[in-house]
Amino acid sequence: MTTYRDAGVDIDAQDRALEQVKKMVRNTYTSDVLSDQGAFGGLFRPPIKGLKEPVLVASADGVGTKLKVAFAADRHSTVGRDLVHHCINDILVQGARPLFFLDYLATGRLEPDVVADVIGGVAVACGEHGLALLGGETAEMPGFYRDGEYDLAGFVVGLVDRRRIIDGTAAKAGDVLVGLPATGLHTNGYSLARKVFFEELGLGPGDTVEELGRTVADELLAIHRCYLEPVWPLIEHGWVHAMAHITGGGLTDNLPRVLPNGLRAVVKVGAWEIPPVFRLLAEKGQVPEDDMWRTFNLGVGMVLVVAPKQLDKVLRNLRDSGCPGFPMGNIVKGESGVEYDHPPEGFPSDLR
């Protein structure tokens, strides 16, 4: 007789893992959640009161090879928060308020404590930012993933009134680029970062890096920042013409995505202090300038495009929210793209 457990799938382990996070998941439920845990599908009543033409905005993403750092460090409580924050930011740039979240966790051999840490992180982030963790899937697939490894994906759904969608069409030549600080690499560039830290420098997750003042794991597992709370009041005031979440592709590829044809972004290099981790990666890894700009956020996690007359109010609101922004360039007429205006000393000495 051969059982499912003999084949490598332990349903009881999955039940134990989910039992550990059951209360945390329930704590994310808003009054609009109509289903209970264990249902085949999550039921949600969208709060459309006051919206003339409600539009749903959805996005899906993963954490990428940042998970490899979590495996190596055996620290799993932050990657779920990374996932939620990344997904929230992706729909925030279109003016949407997140409503609910779904997660997908797949592993080769299910370890209840690890699963609880990962999904617990998802639940914590959902609770902090007011969206329901409406459902998800935890799959044990022996032979598909290595023991001790897993993959993680998330799906967010938000709501915006059609007339309030931010699609970049309001952007004009002369508008100002306002950068919002990142908390590290966020969830992009980890294949290159891991190569530099672990292969070229020969460091381990627990090794302290003098230039950074903390361990490799502490630096690389810093949580992806969520910009919902500081940016939402600006959206409500109508002060934002366009927004770009600076993820894979960096400023080079993400800013043009939110600008209409005929407009280009001029980024003033040196307008903000680029965090030491990026200087270290550029210097120790001998990473070319173009790769740095297209791989990493270089300390800018979100860019807002605002009218000059609104700049002071925007900066004041951001400062008061605890997420101070900084002018970092402007919009000009020209071919779509990003132009980097360097100070005389040039790159990478600007990474100071």
In tens, the pLDDT along 275-322 reads 999 999 999 999 999 999 999 999 999 999 999 999 999 999 999 999
Residue 19's pLDDT band, with cuts at 50, 70 and 90, is confident
- For the stretch 235-246, pLDDT in tens is 999 999 999 999
pLDDT band at 9, cuts 50/70/90? Answer: low
Tell me if 242 sits within 8 A of 256, measured CB to CB.
Answer: no
Residue among 46, 157, 184, 148 nearest 103 (CA): 157
Euclidean distance between CA atoms 32 and 320, whole angstroms: 31
C-alpha R_g of the chain: 21
Contacts of 1 (CB under 8 A, 6+ apart): none
* Ranges for all domains in the chain classified under CATH 3.90.650.10: 176-341
Task: Note the pLDDT tens digit of each residue in 155-173.
Answer: 999 999 999 999 999 999 9
Band (pLDDT 50/70/90 cuts) for residue 352 is very low
pLDDT over 80 (residue 351):
no
CATH architecture of 176-341: Alpha-Beta Complex (3.90)
Given this model, what pLDDT does residue 18 score? Answer: 73
Whether residue 82 is predicted with pLDDT greater than 90 in this model: the reply is: yes
Share of the chain above pLDDT 70, in %: 93
Question: Is the confidence at residue 191, as pLDDT, over 90?
Answer: yes
What residues does CATH 3.30.1330.10 cover in the chain?
A: 11-164
For 200-223, the pLDDT digits (tens) are: 999 999 999 999 999 999 999 999
Residue closest to 113 by CA, chosen among 16, 192, 181, 200? 16
Cis peptide before 348 (omega within 30 of 0): yes
Residue 265's pLDDT is: 98
Architecture of domain 11-164 in CATH?
2-Layer Sandwich (3.30)
Residue with more model confidence, 167 or 13: 167
Question: Can you give the pLDDT at residue 1?
Answer: 64
